DNA sequence: TCTTTCGGACCCTCAAACAC
DNA sequence: TGTTTGAGGGTCCGAAAGAA
């Protein structure tokens, strides 16, 4: 079987995490934005109830960005999206590991034969909830686990490094790539010390984001361009950095200064005044970046996390044709069925657990 | 629209390999 | 002998396909 690391690589972005109560900016997909209920809500209203959403900026879209002077992004939810940046914003690089804690899927130790056959969730009780739901409690019995094979020779193990980075559980707060910001040439701006902000300390399970780069010549920090603009946000006055909590005005602005980058725009972060879209990139340069990709400042030594792969038709199954050719069934399920067929009543055999239309619990799916 | 099916991701267990 | 590794074997999510 593939290693768990490899298996989990894509799953992190795919699974539904239960975000910790901490808000952070995000660098690039699949990094989420978290919500921090320790900060006041606009209008002093109550915090939204969990689960808190993630914001996955679409590729090519702007990205949440830690506000100036903050080593991490902690803000009311409505502010979270107020700091944005464009793809390829130097000198940031995504950390090699997201490490966002994921809620593990709970599994029962032994699913009943009906649920196992249907590949559906079971529970500890007998009859299980699903069997009761479908009126087949009498057939809700445990299957029989196969005994693990013994005497299987295994190759030599690759000993993992105990001191660090042995696995994905390494605290991201100690991720060297964070400390160097993934870029050896980058240094935190003066006066922006790590942890200097009033931000709620990140739990150990959460990444600590590095401080933002200094504003460019002229002193602008990214204006609060939104995509989409959070309701009720009041943009800061020109030339000012976004102020945390600014949405608290409670007065919905008539029009938010937000924009989408023009097509083909892969340029640097735009520091212009609020409401003014970035200039279009030079066509030649845009074309070059379209073909070779946006300017990436990623540490070449840092493994890049690819954006969530678009859903493919990989799960497309070829079904039984009109003229026969039954598909091979899952043998492991079939084995369970076979072993418990005397009590469960499901049809045994290694080729099929049950037949459609016979009311067998195995094919009663969840509604 | 609902139901059934099932690919494959995810999870747990535990024997083999390894360190001390 | 205790710990670590990683594969076996299981659960079940979620989407496709068929049925109603």
- DSSP symbols for A285-324: HHHHHHHH-S-----TTSPPPPPPPPP-STT-----BTTB
A120 touches strand B (CB under 7 A): yes
Residue A118 lies in a domain: yes
Do A79 and A205 lie in one domain? The reply is yes
Residue found by looking up tokens 């949405």 in the block: A247
Host H or E run for residue A263:
none
Do A50 and A177 lie in one domain? The reply is yes
pLDDT of residue A150: 80
Do A226 and A88 lie in one domain? The reply is yes
Residue A311 lies in a domain: no
pLDDT of residue A284: 55
Closest residue by Cα to residue A354 from A133, A340, A162, A367: A340
Closest residue by Cα to residue A260 from A212, A227, A283: A227
pLDDT of residue A226: 30
Q: Which nucleotides of B are covered by protein (CB under 7 A)?
A: 2-19
Q: Which residue is nearest to nucleotide B18 (CA to C1')?
A: A157
Do A92 and A190 lie in one domain? The reply is yes
A364 touches strand B (CB under 7 A): yes
Question: Mean pLDDT for each 10-residue chunk of chain A (367 residues)?
Answer: 33 28 27 38 45 32 32 31 27 36 74 85 83 81 81 76 39 30 27 27 34 38 33 41 36 29 34 40 46 36 36 38 35 33 31 32 35
CA-CA distance, A32 to A52, in Å (whole number)? Answer: 11
pLDDT of residue A117: 83
Do A183 and A279 lie in one domain? The reply is yes
pLDDT of residue A187: 27
Domain range for A336 is: 108-144+327-367
Q: How far is the CA of A316 from the C1' of B7 (A)?
A: 8
Structure tokens at A103: 């809620």
Residue A309 lies in a domain: no
Report yes or no: A55 and A261 within 8 Å, Cβ to Cβ: no
Host H or E run for residue A10:
helix A4-14
* Cα–Cα separations (whole angstroms), residue A289 to A38, A281, A296: 41, 10, 10
A355 touches strand B (CB under 7 A): yes
CA-CA distance, A130 to A120, in Å (whole number)? Answer: 8
pLDDT of residue A139: 82
Q: Which residue is nearest to nucleotide C16 (CA to C1')?
A: A316
Do A56 and A191 lie in one domain? The reply is yes
Do A214 and A255 lie in one domain? The reply is yes
pLDDT tens digits along A22-60: 222 222 222 333 333 444 444 455 544 433 333 333 333
* Count of the separate structural domains present in chain A: 2
Residue A259 lies in a domain: yes
Residue A321 lies in a domain: no
Do A95 and A7 lie in one domain? The reply is yes
CA-CA distance, A350 to A68, in Å (whole number)? Answer: 62
Spell out which residues of A between 97 and 116 contact strand B, using CB within 7 Å: 102, 104-107, 109
Residue A301 lies in a domain: no
Q: Which nucleotides of C are covered by protein (CB under 7 A)?
A: 4-20
pLDDT of residue A161: 56
Residue A123 lies in a domain: yes
Do A225 and A122 lie in one domain? The reply is no
Structure tokens at A68: 């100036």
Residue A164 lies in a domain: no
């Amino acid at each position: 079987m593939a290693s768990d690391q490899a298996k989990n690589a894509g799953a992190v972005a795919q699974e539904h995490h239960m975000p910790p109560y901490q808000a952070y900016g995000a660098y690039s997909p699949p990094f989420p934005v978290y919500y921090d209920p320790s900060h006041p809500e606009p209008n002093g209203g109550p915090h939204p109830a969990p689960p808190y959403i993630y914001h996955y900026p679409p590729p090519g879209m702007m990205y949440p960005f830690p506000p100036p002077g903050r080593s991490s992004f902690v803000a009311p939810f409505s502010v979270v999206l107020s700091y944005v940046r464009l793809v390829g914003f130097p000198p940031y690089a995504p950390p090699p590991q997201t490490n966002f804690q994921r809620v593990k899927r709970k599994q029962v130790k032994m699913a009943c034969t009906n649920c196992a056959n249907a590949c559906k969730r079971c529970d500890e009780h007998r009859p299980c909830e699903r069997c009761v739901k479908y009126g087949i409690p009498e057939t809700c019995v445990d299957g029989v686990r196969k005994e693990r094979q013994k005497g299987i020779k295994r190759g030599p193990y690759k000993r993992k490094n105990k001191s660090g980075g042995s696995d994905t559980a390494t605290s991201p707060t100690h991720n060297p790539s964070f400390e160097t910001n993934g870029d050896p040439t980058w240094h935190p701006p003066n006066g922006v010390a790590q942890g200097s902000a009033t931000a709620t300390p990140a739990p150990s399970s959460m990444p600590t984001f590095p401080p933002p780069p200094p504003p460019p010549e002229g002193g602008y920090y990214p204006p609060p361009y939104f995509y989409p603009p959070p309701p009720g946000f009041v943009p800061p006055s020109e030339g000012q950095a976004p102020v945390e909590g600014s949405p608290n005005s409670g007065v919905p602005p008539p029009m938010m200064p937000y924009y989408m980058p023009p097509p083909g725009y892969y340029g640097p972060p735009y520091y212009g005044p609020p409401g003014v879209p970035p200039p279009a990139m030079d066509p030649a340069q845009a074309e070059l970046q379209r073909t070779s990709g946006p300017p990436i400042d990623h540490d070449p030594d840092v493994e890049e996390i690819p954006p969530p792969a678009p859903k493919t038709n990989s799960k497309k199954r070829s079904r039984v044709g009109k003229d026969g050719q039954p598909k091979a069934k899952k043998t492991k399920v079939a084995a369970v069925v076979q072993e418990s067929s005397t009590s469960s009543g499901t049809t045994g055999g290694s080729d099929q657990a049950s037949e459609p239309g016979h009311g067998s619990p195995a094919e009663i799916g969840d509604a």
